Structure 1
Amino acid sequence: MELHSHTQPYPGGISTKTNYYFGYFPKRNQQGPSLIITTLESQPVNYSIEAPGVRYYTSGNVTSDNEVIINLPTTLITLSHTDQDKGIHLMISSDRVTVIGQNLAQTFLCLPITNVCGGEFLYYGISVPRAPFGEFNSNDSSSVLVVGTEDNTIMKLTVTQPVTISVSNSTVDLTAGIQYSFVINRLQTVLIRSVDDLTGTKIVTDKPVSVLSGHQCASVPKNSGSCEYLIVQVPPTTLWGRVYYTAPLATRRSYTIKVLAAYNSTVVDIYCNNTRESYNIREGESVNKTLSLQEYCAINSSKEVLVVQLSHGRQDDGVDNIYGDPMMTLVPATNQYSSKFQFSTLQGRAGYTHYMNIIVLAQYYQSDTIYLISGGVNRSLDTNQWVPIMVNNVTEAYSVQVMISEVVAAIIQSNIQNLMSAIVYGFANYHGYGDPVGNYTITA
């Protein structure tokens, strides 16, 4: 399989045109979806958006000193499995961009369609168990949304729960554990929903698709008394990794990591505060581990895995804490680390406090070379707050937690050989959000 690689440490795509395909599944108290586009380019970057299923088209440009927020029509939200043709295509004239999907107080990092020639594409849904029915609406669902990027795409689908879906105007009942084959077209959407956890739902295609996964209103942990919309765009397994690092979330007393395997006999070692736990899991299976605010972790696996980090709901942090319903974010694997990222906090929502967790590999750790750039001001991150992340008494990475304002900003290593990752997140009254910075890209 031929893989497209980059000579510069910037998000994925190709030099003249970057394509994003995505969609939105429903949430409680639905409001209009939107996009936030930022760029690192010195010249204006052109973009165009098409959603022919609802006859929506727009275009414009974005510059490095001002993000663009695009409000999308609510008709683009896929409300039920019978809704189709709700896919959205965004085309941008640069790969030095960051695109964030936003739906009220929740966000997700939009991933560019990677230039991969030949072979097949493998994706897995990731979500959480349902809340007790006495607590919330029994219709709140674990959800997976598939968006086609090319006509005549063969999709093989194996769900983990019995569901009913619609494909090409035909309604089909699916049995858990049985593979079904369908043909979908460009910008066609297939919504998979269940009141039970769809984590491990397997999607195999002969052409790239976009997979959005999460929950309509989930509680974390499931018995806590608050719920929120969870959503991530799931990369194909070619972009998964074997080494990950996580750090606690500001203002939370605990958090959860979820590790999802793509292949059988995957051995996962989780080192938290230098203490190891080991698991052997099969394809589509996951490990959930709840951690305290003092626990920094390294995840090492024998085969590729996907890792998400979940913040806990406000009631799990104490009944007097009204800040921070759950959120779910992808955790970057070390093969996705870079030396420079542009990012945006959730925009236009009052009352949020925003944070960033930055992780630097130990061999590249030079705190005096790391800067947060916002409004033309360079903020040095040379501080004594960096915490070592250890495996077998050896420091493998360092992490720091930084409070930030509502900004469009960049984080850079002045030494471009030094690699790092970051997650930006925030909390407000009854809300929380979080995303990795940058984009996922295949490296040679």
Structure 2
Amino acid sequence: MLFAVLLCLTYSVHFSIQSPILSPSSTPQHENENKISSTNSDDWSTAASTHVVGILPMLTTQSISLVITTPETETVNFTVSNLTQTIANGSVTAGLLVTTGTNKKISVTVAMSHFGDYSAGMYVNYPALFYPVNSYVYYAVSIGTDESTSFSSLLIVSGNNNTNITITPTVTVTIPSSLTSSGNQISLNAGQSITIQLQYLETLLLKPVTARADLTGTKVESSNPISVYSGHTCGFIPVGQFARDFVGEQIPPVASWGNEFLVQSFYNRQTGYNKTNWITDYSLSLQEDDVLSQTISQTSCYINSTSSILIAQFSLAQFADFSFTSYGDPAMTIIPPLHQYASNVTSFPIISLLGASTSVNLVVLAADDSSQIQLNGTVLPSLTSSSWKHYNSSVGGCYVFNSYSLSGTGEVSVWSNNSNDKILAMVYGLQQFIGYSYTGNLDLKPSEACFLLCEANYVLNTDTCTCSITNICELSPCQNGGSCTLVSTPSNYFCDCTGTGYQGITCTNVNYIVPNISAFVSYVAVLYGSSVTLRCVLHHPGNPEATIQWTFAGSVITNNSLFHITEGSTRLDITNITTSYSGAYHCNASNVAGASVATIKIDVHK
């Protein structure tokens, strides 16, 4: 294994290389290379020749590092494009492309920190893999906060040109003008959907319009594999519990979710070891994109589901232990399903941020307890010893070695003498007010065959193993009296908002219309002391309905002994008129969309 760090401090680029070396290549990225390369259908490793990388925003960022390792036994050259991108004020302007340009593989881990704020975060970057599905579906996972300076975030990075992406948020978000068909910035409300198109390495960062809102459950569906990340710039777990920190992970597509998991406890935490968010396609108790949060005990937790789910584990805040001396702060880890444990050999880099202590939890799927496990050549206690906790699973015995402390830097290798075993490494970095976690190598193969049974009026999608309604119009998605027409089953529909006064995807946006008013005549001559009637005609009341006012000499006319307004304010009667009331009278119809004015001039003669 080779190891290197690409380090970016205060937004300028530096290279920090540790021997043995991964060499940054001097060959530039060709301009016409605008698409991620296809991955072999039977190769699902987190190590790949090409990585499209997104950098999630932190509340404050001092250091951003790309930790790059390789399973190859020889020097590997690589390039990193778009290093001139800027990250400021919570916005991410472009994706990164990390590639060897050959069939040589590398793994990429993103590490971020700010010493002054005692904030740290880390996540493994997955390659964009091609699954046998018609579309790629992702769901955001985040946390909450009780203050307004930080925010829940969802980052999308495209690895191809002309990638169509449909977004359905759980809270209101803003879609920038560059990505809307109208060319105007819009607010996309919870439950509404919009389809945008991203180009090669183009990004979209979503955050709630409302402070303290949580993007968890927001759905992203793409025509091509994309890189999707979600988390929080600096959140509380639980909300209001000191202290707060960055959490974030790359989100795997639904096609790679699983049914069987082992959630391990965080090292060196006294209480509230982890909190698990379960997002499910379908089950007896949860519907698609439902979320269940559950605090579990100090021991590991075995989870088996009837259909594919996504599990994210969170560490609680520093003072959740009611101790100033305990280690840890909010951290987030996507728990891989058992079927994605790679092989009898796994590896990971030791990454210490802000002086945090590093430890690893090991999970071994073994047919029996005779396997011998080594960590960097050191033989660990036998699987039958008290150092390991045993669980039964559908794929055999599951053994957990909880919290092996690590020291130094470099790469760690874990090996079993049984080639049929599979090993998972979960790495934790913990210090006072600091918490982060990441995994070793994974095998991101798709979930097992789908045996899901759908309820009446639902149809099974065997590509994603999800149930969807056969006719979405039965759910009345069109609001405010709009009429729903099914374009194609099961969920492509159109809302006709005609006559409702609303517009938009689901007839929820007010359709503003400027009123239209005119007058029968534009000039009237009358005698001194006589009476005169002025009328205007409202051709369209506008939306919302316009207010009509008469004005003279810059003042609004009201009913009195001289003036009398009737017929919905379209008629003005003037009695005993004098020469001082000669001039222009304006009939004004106005609403928030605009105004229409009809003018009638009166000449009073003696």
TM above 0.5 = yes
Q: Does 1:27 align with 2:27?
A: no
Task: Provide the rounded CA distance (Å) in 2 between the counterparts of 1:303 and 1:34.
Answer: 37
State which of 255, 270, 286 in structure 2 corresponds to 1:238.
Answer: 255
- Aligned residue number for residue 388 of structure 2: 386
Q: Is the 8 A contact 2:150 2:234 kept in 1?
A: yes
CA, structure 1 residues 260+185, in 2 after alignment: closer, same or farther (shift >3 Å)? farther
Alpha-carbon spacing, 1:216–1:350, altered in 2? closer, same or farther (3 Å): closer
Contact 1:27 1:217 in 2 (8 A): yes
Report the Cα offset of residue 128 of structure 1.
Answer: 1.2
Aligned partner (choices 133, 157, 165) of residue 155 of structure 1:
165
CA distance in structure 2 between the partners assigned to 1:283 and 1:3 by the alignment: 29
1:395 to partner: Cα distance: 8.4
2:216 is paired with a residue whose SS is coil
Instruction: Quote the Cα distance in structure 2 between the aligned partners of 1:323 and 1:287.
Output: 27
1:206 aligns with one of 218, 223, 241: 223
> For residue 297 of structure 1, what is the aligned residue in structure 2?
301
SS of the residue aligned with 1:361? strand
Partner of 2:174: 164
Give the alignment partner of residue 120 of structure 1, picking from 105, 124, 135. Answer: 135
TM-score (norm 2): 0.60
Tell me the CA shift for residue 319 of structure 1. 3.2
Q: 1:439 to 1:20 in 2, by over 3 A?
A: farther
User: 2:340 is matched with which residue?
Assistant: 336
CA deviation vs aligned residue, 1:1-32 (integer Å, no higher than 9, x gap): x994447x95454xxxx221121132122213
Deviation string 1:171-208 (CA, Å, 9 cap, x unpaired) is 22111001111111111110111231111100001011
TM-score normalised by L of structure 1: 0.81
Are 1:110 and 2:110 matched, yes or no? no
CA 370–391 in structure 1, closer or farther in 2 if over 3 Å, else same: closer
Q: 1:5 and 1:379, CA in 2 relative to 1: closer, same or farther beyond 3 A?
A: farther
- Taking the aligned partners of 2:443 and 2:418, their CA distance within structure 1 comes to 21
Alignment of 1:3-402 (within 5 A): 4-6=40-42, 10-11=45-46, 13=48, 18-51=49-82, 56=83, 75-77=85-87, 79-80=89-90, 84=93, 86-92=94-100, 93-94=102-103, 96-104=105-113, 105-116=120-131, 119-130=134-145, 132-133=146-147, 138-166=148-176, 168=178, 171-194=185-208, 195-253=212-270, 254-263=272-281, 265-267=282-284, 280-293=285-298, 295-321=299-325, 323-338=327-342, 339-347=344-352, 349-366=353-370, 368-373=371-376, 377-382=377-382, 383-389=385-391, 396-401=397-402, 402=404
Q: Which letter maps to 2:95? A: G
Q: 1:167 to 1:334 in 2, by over 3 A?
A: farther
Identity of matched residues, %: 25
d(CA) in 2 for partners of 1:120 and 1:435?
Answer: 27
Aligned partner of 1:405 in structure 2 is 407
Structure 1 residue 111, shift from structure 2 partner: 0.2
CA distance 1:201–1:252, shift in 2 (3 Å): same
- RMSD, aligned α-carbons: 2.6
The aligned residue for residue 441 of structure 1 is 444
Which whole-Å deviations, capped at 9, do the CAs of 1:83-124 have from their partners, x for residues lacking one?
53x111111345653311011121101101113466211111
Amino acid at match of 2:217: G
Q: Which residue number corresponds to residue 422 of structure 1?
A: 425
In the alignment, is the contact (CA less than 8 A) between 1:308 and 1:329 conserved in 2? yes
Secondary structure of residue in 1 paired with 2:421: coil
- Give the Å deviation of 1:79: 3.7
Per the alignment, in what secondary structure is the counterpart of residue 238 of structure 1? helix
* Distance (whole Å) between structure 2 residues aligned to residue 78 and residue 307 of structure 1: 31
Distance across 1 between alignment mates of 2:315 and 2:103: 33
Q: Residue 440 of structure 1: CA displacement?
A: 4.5
CA shift in 2, pair 1:107/1:258, >3 Å: same
Aligned length: 390
Structure 1 window deviating more from structure 2 (326-335 vs 162-171): it is 162-171
Of the structure 1 ranges 22-31 and 424-433, higher mean CA displacement relative to structure 2 is found in 22-31
Question: Could you tell me whether the CA contact under 8 Å between 1:12 and 1:95 is conserved in 2?
Answer: no
Partner of 1:277: none
Could you tell me whether the CA contact under 8 Å between 1:87 and 1:188 is conserved in 2? yes
Distance 1:94 1:379 in 2: 33
Residues 326 and 309 (structure 1 numbering): CA distance in 2 closer, same or farther, change over 3 Å? same
Deviations 1:323-379 (A, max 9, x none): 3111111111011012221101224x353211111112352544x521111xxx434
In the alignment, what sits opposite 1:70?
A: none
Q: Is the 8 A contact 2:381 2:387 kept in 1?
A: no
**What is the distance in 1 between the residues matched to 2:103 and 2:388?**
34
CA distance in structure 2 between the partners assigned to 1:204 and 1:364 by the alignment:
41
CA distance in 2, matches of 1:372, 1:193: 41
- The whole-number CA distance in structure 2 between the counterparts of 1:79 and 1:440 is 36
Q: Provide the secondary structure at the position in 1 that maps to 2:207.
A: strand
SS of the equivalent of 2:176 reads strand
CA contact (8 A) 2:312 2:332 kept: yes
Partner of 1:431: 434
SS in 1 for 2:425: strand
- The change in CA–CA distance for 1:48 and 1:379 in structure 2 (over 3 A counts) is farther
In 2, distance between residues paired with 1:3 and 1:49? 19
Aligned-partner Cα distance in 2 for 1:395–1:151? 44
Amino acid at match of 1:28: L
1:43, 1:27 → 2: CA distance? 35
The question of whether the paired residues in 2 share the 8 Å contact of 1:157 and 1:179 is answered with yes
- Identify which of structures 1 and 2 has the higher relative contact order when contacts are C-alpha pairs closer than 8 Å and 6+ apart: 1
| Residues 11 and 95 in structure 1, CA contact (< 8 A), matched pair in contact too | no
Note if contact 2:68-2:109 (Cα within 8 Å) is conserved in structure 1: yes
